[in-house]
Amino acid sequence: MRDSENGEKEQGATEFKKPVHVFWREDGQGFSVDTRPENADSEQEEPRQAAEDGDLASEPIIVHRKPMHEEKKNVPIPESLEEFKHKLEEEVGYKTTFDIVLREMTFGERRVAFFFFNGFAKDTILTEILKRLTYLQADEYRTTSFHDFFRLYVPAIQVVEEPDWDNMMTGVLSGGTAMFIEGDSKVLLIDAKAFPGRNPEEPSLERVVRGARDGFVETMLTNVTLVRRRLRDKQLRYEILRVGERTQTDICIAYIDDIVDKEMLKSIRDKIKQVKIDGLPLADKQLEEATVKRGWNPFPLVRYSERPDTVAVHLMEGNIAVFVDTAPSVMILPTTYFDLLQHAEENRQTPFIGTYLRWVRFIGIAASLFLLPLWFLFTLKPELKPPALDFIGVQKAGRLPMVAQFLIAEIGVDLLRMAAIHTPTPLATAMSLIAAILIGDIAVKTGLFVNEVVLYMAVAAIGMFATPSYELGLANRIIRLVLIVAVASFKVEGFVVATTAFFILLCMERSFNRPYMWPFIPFDAKGMLGILLRVPVLQNRKRPNYLKPQQGDRMPNGEESR
């Protein structure tokens, strides 16, 4: 890389036979032109731009544009306390932002400052550190080195030396405390955090009759500990990353090292590292959109869970779990359509009862998709009905067209759902009764709706709420609306074409390069049996082959159960 000094050595114009290369200057002030001959030293960075042949002045051309990938340089920590405070005032608003605390003290003749954010600091640990430092005599401070503070005088479990200013700021913004000692170009970064949070509670979307009642919270360290408590496996790995230029959100990739497919792990890790975004204030949902990049596809390509036992089970299958700090749910990667239909309650019951509950759920989800469109089709085409279904149809027509009644009912159910979320809990039950009974009854009596529309819409809504995955339930609702509009527009042809397109869409989807409709497409007989039946634990010996696990057998050392 050549800087402007090279231009001062060659006066006048120079004729070039080869293109002139423009490079980023070492001082960071822009681009400069390389005026060396062809046989000059070739140890330089790759040129970013070539100028056209011709006469160029020896004075370098400066283009004020930053390079695409500029290496991060370490920023030293000031050795003077006054400079340290001045830099805090400039960068983080010290003396302006009320929650920034800089506790200054003098021990012997050495000035010490503790820099932390008031809401994050664990005062008991910091108080113990101050007590220990006050016990030292003045002559001990004069002979004490920075390494002695790190090794002897700071009674905390997690303490590291940090020479870089930006890393120190990230650590303090993440809840740590920086101990600055005047005269040293390092700080001691003390992990004394006390995040505001709540106790683990049973998640409302994944309740079970029998089973654990703890669920994930907004603190990532608590969440990974809940999983570690269930998986005492030395092969369990937690990799930490940070995403977001401003939020610096902590992200943890969890997997079992001797089970997970390493290529899939590398792909997911690289996708997360490549995310360039201002921040992730909405945590895991924004990370999903930044990594999956599925466009307008309504179907979820990742599974969310708020239960530690569910995440532990998937890790043992060979899945990868992604924890995002401040999110009470965990992403499970990859996933399939049939994974989204399963619930923890099925595995808390006997195999027979678990299979029964699974089939009831399947029937409810199928009803939420196809019951309304099929009834609407039989109403428009009575000749398609078999004799046993002659009772299906509209006994008395309403004042509104049938398709309008369906659309209004769909919007009404969505309004009820949103109102229930935003209504205080003591009033939610009363509001639901008023909306479901009074409004529905009055709508039928006034002739706006027919009884059958209200009945089948209620059954479809129950099936949607029975779907374990909230995101999948909303996606199925969109498909149901598309089928209703297709039936209203093209009758039988519309239903057949829309259903086929829906099925092809699912078959073409892939979740992190894994087939979304496995084990149906590609067909896997053993995998399909595990979907249709809740197989007993000791008979469920194989892990799903679509995950390509390193160990396909669940039994230890390949032993089969008796």
Tens of pLDDT, residue by residue over 520-540, are: 999 999 999 999 999 998 888
pLDDT digits (tens, 9 = 90+) for 539-562: 888 999 999 999 988 876 655 444
Beta bridge partners of 238: 254
Indicate if the pLDDT at residue 238 is higher than 60. Answer: yes
Task: Report whether pLDDT(16) > 50.
Answer: no
Grouping H, G, I as helix, E, B as strand and the rest as coil, residue 553 is strand
| Half-sphere exposure of residue 188: CA atoms within 13 angstroms, side-chain side | 25
Over the stretch 245-268, which tens digit does the pLDDT of each residue have?
898 999 999 999 999 999 999 999
- H-assigned helices in 111-178: 123-134, 138-142, 146-148, 165-173
Per the rule left: phi > 0, alpha: psi between -120 and 50, beta: everything else, 371 is alpha
- 105 near 132, Cβ under 8 Å? no
Q: Do residues 375 and 450 touch, judged by C-beta distance below 8 A?
A: no
**Average pLDDT, integer, range 474-494:** 93
What 3-state DSSP class applies to 250?
strand
Question: 56 and 33 in contact (C-beta within 8 Å)?
Answer: yes
Average pLDDT estimate for 344-372 = 93
Q: What pLDDT shows up at residue 37? A: 45
Residue with more model confidence, 382 or 34: 382
Q: What is the dihedral of CA 214, 219, 224, 228, to 10 degrees?
A: -50
Instruction: Please state which of the ranges 106-110, 205-209, 243-247, 518-522 shows the lowest mean pLDDT.
Output: 106-110
Q: Where are the beta strands (DSSP E) in 370-416?
A: none
**pLDDT over 70 percentage in the chain:** 80
Q: Determine the Cα–Cα distance for residues 472 and 166; give it in Å rounded to an integer.
A: 42
Residue position matching structure tokens 């519309």 = 494
Confidence class for position 164, pLDDT limits 50, 70, 90: very high
| pLDDT for residue 341 is more than 90 | yes
Q: What is the DSSP letter of 99?
A: T
C-beta separation of 339 from 303 below 8 A: yes
Angle between helices 284-292 and 262-273 (to 10 degrees): 110
Q: Judge whether residue 462 has pLDDT over 80.
A: yes
pLDDT for the residue 382: 85
Q: For the chain, what is the mean pLDDT?
A: 81
Of 411, 404, 415, 403, the residue nearest 487 (C-alpha): 403
Helix (H) / strand (E) element for 20: namely strand 20-24
Is residue 51's pLDDT more than 80? no
Structure tokens at 82: 């006054």
CB atoms within 10 A of CB 490: 13
pLDDT at 331 over 80: yes
| Tokens at 367, concatenated | 């009803």
Higher pLDDT, 136 or 143: 136
The residue among 325 and 17 whose pLDDT is bigger is 325
Q: Which helix (H) or strand (E) holds 369?
A: helix 351-380
Instruction: Quote the tokens at residue 37.
Output: 């001959």
CA distance 548 to 562: 26
**Higher per-residue pLDDT: 114 or 53:** 114
Q: What is the pLDDT of residue 50?
A: 39
pLDDT digits (tens, 9 = 90+) for 508-517: 999 988 999 9
Element (H, E) at 34: strand 31-34
Distance (Å, rounded) from C-alpha 419 to C-alpha 467? 20
Q: What is the mean pLDDT of residues 219-232?
A: 94
Query: What pLDDT band is residue 413 in, cutting at 50, 70 and 90?
Result: confident
Please check whether residue 304 is in contact with residue 215, taking contact to mean a CB–CB distance below 8 angstroms: no
